[in-house]
Structure formats: structure tokens, C-alpha cells
Amino acid sequence: MEKISLQGVLPLVFHQNPPEGSGVWTRDVSFARGKLYLVEAASGRGKTSLCSYLYGARADYSGRIFFDGEDVSRLSPAAWGERRRFSLGMIFQGLRLFPELTAIENVRLKNRLTGYRDERWIRDAFERLGIADKMDAPVAKISFGQQQRVALARGLCQPLDFLLLDEPVSHLDEGNSRRAGELLLEEATRAGFGVISTSIGKHVDLPYHQILHL
């Protein structure tokens, strides 16, 4: 997949009171594979909604979304499954980790489904993200910021054309946010996938090609 396009998209909840000055809602907007995008907005402007629409998790919007010219409203559940396995990834704001599993078990579980990484890469990712000492800790016992880094490592365990990130570093300090950005940029550059990241203020440190205000 080379391009994601939005035409006049607007969450249904905003129909009675559309947000003013949005660079995304009701506009024609495109995201290209290999490019880095930041979508900034205050709380309640629809950052999570945007990611959910692009990932196919929700469809409560007007307007149209296209993947390489194909209207996503026509994709079957099986087609969405293929996209999410081979092309489209998302790191949710709520992370969706399994709290009873250890940090590394969460990452290995995803990787067993894709076969995309080897064990060396996984362990190196934990080292680079500063959470090597938490690999064998149950996710329920580590901080949310540490969980965010586990979710990033897990999210990179699949082939990607686009990776969606919903406030991925909201609980990270500057140093750990920088570490996350370095790993993400390295992988995006190597594999050539696009990144669409949302932020309410603190954002992952990347050389963005475009910053949009929601």
C-alpha cells in the first residue's frame, strides 16, 4: 500500500458542531508510504477516532477513506485482516497488552503470528528502549511508560506499509522518548513504511515530513 487518502471525513459525533480550523476533518488529505506525519490536537478533537478509522476498527464517520484508491468501506473482514497482518499496524493509546504475560512474552506472542523478527532483534529492542531489566516482569507490574515501550517493540514485529501511533510517548521522559524515536526512525527508514503519529502535546521525536492540526 502506497497511499492512504481521506475525502471529507468527519466523525459523526461532530456533525452538529464541527471543529473549526481542522487540517484533517472535512478536508482532502493524503498520507504517503515512507513519509512521517504528526497529527496534533487538543483533547476531544478526535485523535483516537482518526487512528481507529484508518485501522478499520470504527466506521462512525461521514466521508470516504481510500487505500491506493480503494474505498475501505468495501473491504471485507478478511481483507481487513490481511491488511493488518501484512501492511497496517497500530499502537493503541490503551496499548492492549496482556497484563498476565511478561513483557517479552507479549512481544513474542505477536511475533509468533508474523514470524517477522528473530529473538536477537527482540532482545536488542528491549535493550535499546531501556527496558531490558523488565523483559521477564509481568506487564501488570511495570509502569505505563514501560508498557508503552513494550507496545512499540511489539508493533514493529510485523511487515508494515503504515504504522499508526496514538499518543505513543505520552508517559515517557525526554530520554526514553528519544530512544523510542531512534528505534522507530531506524525501522521506518530500513523498511520504508510510513508513520502517522498523534499527539496532545508530547510527541515522539522524528523528522516529520508534515505536521497536521486536527
pLDDT at residue 17 above 90?
no
Phi, psi of 98, deg, nearest 5: -95, 110
SS3 category, 199: strand
Beta carbons of 101 and 141 less than 8 angstroms apart: no
Task: Tell me the percentage of the chain whose pLDDT exceeds 90.
Answer: 92
Whole-angstrom distance, CA of residue 131 vs CA of residue 117: 18
What are the tens digits of pLDDT across the range 157-213?
A: 999 999 999 999 989 999 999 999 999 999 999 999 999 999 988 898 899 999 999
Question: What is the count of structural domains for the chain?
Answer: 1
Query: What CATH number should be reported for the domain holding residue 159?
Result: 3.40.50.300
* Domain interval for residue 184: 3-213
Phi, psi of 139, deg, nearest 5: -55, -35
pTM of the model: 0.94
SS3 category, 77: helix
Residue 6's Cα: distance from chain center in Å? 17
- The arithmetic mean of pLDDT across residues 136-152, rounded, is 97
Q: What angle do CA 189, 164, 10 make, to 5 degrees?
A: 135
Helix, strand, coil content of the chain in percent (nearest 5):
40, 25, 40
